[in-house]
Amino acid sequence: MRKFFAPASIGNFCVGFDSLGAAIAPVDEQLLGDIVHIEEAEQDTFQCIGEYAHKLPSNQEENLAFQCLTHFRAHVKADMPSVSLTLEKRLPIGSGLGSSACSVVATFAALNAYSGTALSQVQMIELMADFEAKVSGARHYDNITPCYLGGLQLTSEIVPDRAIALPTSPDWHIVVAFPGFALNTAQARAVLPSSLSLGQSVGFAQRLATYTALLQQKRFNNALALMQDTIAEPSRVPLIKGFAEAQLSLPELGAEVVSISGAGPTLFALCTSFESAKRCEGWLNANYVDENGFSHICKFDNQGTRELA
């Protein structure tokens, strides 16, 4: 049996709505993401296991990973040998950590490797984006691409090869905190403004362009100062209980940035030292996370999706 792991990710990454995403990995080396198990079988079979499997539809035809399998066989590799495919669901649904992207990316990576199709980076990302759209309602790359390739990625249809990897500071620590309740992605998108003024559009473009340029110049402190979400965050804060309090309290403990991970309700606090990250994690565990939630101090996961030994 072969196993493929896809890491959790932070969509939007504060300044890059629908275009900037980061793959993350806990510093304690826990696997934060989904795993797909694949092996040859007499006929195609599918099962879903793991801590959050019970949150997914019991009918396999409604499971994204199973849909990936049937699509891959019908449209990519019709003569692929039969497989036993198991999705180990380790990320909560509706968490804002790229849960659906994890399932899709791990499944297609497993199928591509198992069948020997050797699809290109663009082919894989486009295939994955098709299925991510089934959940979010539109093709968004900011979870898919970092989950697949790792690191911090600028990504969209107009980006060459769908991805430009951006450098990040080795001092950056990212505290992610899932409060324990889900937030439907469609609901989180429904509250967004339907249009932006010319001034807002120009401001967003200037901020994102400057941020990415500063990262490429490794002027990380200057880049940090620009990390503000003026597009999605103001509309989504009322949906996330406790976020406003966290955004006020965590900077006093050393957080440089406090923002929403993807569509929420997970938040992330970006710190420039492990010590400040520990202080922020302690506050979040006491004030933001309930018995169904969790927190992790993370770094960027620069490996992306990979086969596990």
pLDDT (tens digit, 9 = 90+) per residue, 68-120?
Answer: 999 999 999 999 999 999 999 999 999 999 999 999 999 999 999 999 999 99
The reply to whether 93 sits in an annotated binding site is yes
Give residue 154's pLDDT band: very low, low, confident or very high (50, 70, 90).
Answer: very high
Give residue 139's pLDDT band: very low, low, confident or very high (50, 70, 90).
Answer: confident
The yes-or-no verdict on residue 135 having pLDDT over 80 is no
The reply to whether 102 sits in an annotated binding site is yes
Give residue 12's pLDDT band: very low, low, confident or very high (50, 70, 90).
Answer: very high
Token readout for 188 is 């989180």
The yes-or-no verdict on residue 297 having pLDDT over 90 is yes
Q: For residue range 210-269, what is the model confidence (pLDDT) as tens digits?
A: 999 999 999 999 999 999 999 999 999 999 999 999 999 999 999 999 999 999 999 999
pLDDT at residue 187 in the model: 86
What pTM was computed for the model?
0.96
The reply to whether 96 sits in an annotated binding site is yes
The yes-or-no verdict on residue 42 having pLDDT over 80 is yes
Token readout for 271 is 């710190």
Give residue 184's pLDDT band: very low, low, confident or very high (50, 70, 90).
Answer: confident
The reply to whether 97 sits in an annotated binding site is yes
Boundaries of every domain in the chain: 2-165, 173-300
Mean pLDDT, range 18-33, rounded to an integer: 97
Mean pLDDT, range 182-200, rounded to an integer: 91
List the single range of 133-137, 157-161, 194-198, 254-258 with lowest mean pLDDT. Answer: 133-137
The reply to whether 264 sits in an annotated binding site is no
pLDDT at residue 186 in the model: 83
pLDDT at residue 165 in the model: 98
Q: Which of 87, 85, 149, 73 lies closest to 117, judged by CA?
A: 73
Q: Where are the alpha helices (DSSP H) in 191-292?
A: 198-216, 220-224, 233-236, 243-249, 274-287
% the chain with pLDDT above 70: 99
The yes-or-no verdict on residue 131 having pLDDT over 90 is no
The reply to whether 21 sits in an annotated binding site is no
Long-range contacts of 277-285 (CB under 8 A, 24+ apart): 277/173, 277/174, 277/175, 279/253, 279/254, 280/175, 280/250, 280/253, 280/254, 280/255, 281/175, 281/177, 283/246, 283/249, 283/250, 283/253, 284/175, 284/177, 284/246, 284/250, 285/177
| Structural fold of domain 2-165 | Ribosomal Protein S5; domain 2 (3.30.230)
Buried b (16+ CB within 10 A) or exposed e, 199-224: eeeeebeebbeebbebbeeeebeebb
pLDDT at residue 289 in the model: 98
Give residue 293's pLDDT band: very low, low, confident or very high (50, 70, 90).
Answer: very high
Architecture of domain 173-300: 2-Layer Sandwich (3.30)
Give residue 10's pLDDT band: very low, low, confident or very high (50, 70, 90).
Answer: very high
The reply to whether 95 sits in an annotated binding site is yes
Give residue 132's pLDDT band: very low, low, confident or very high (50, 70, 90).
Answer: confident
pLDDT at residue 181 in the model: 95
Token readout for 203 is 């401001």
The reply to whether 99 sits in an annotated binding site is yes
The yes-or-no verdict on residue 137 having pLDDT over 80 is no
% the chain with pLDDT above 90: 94
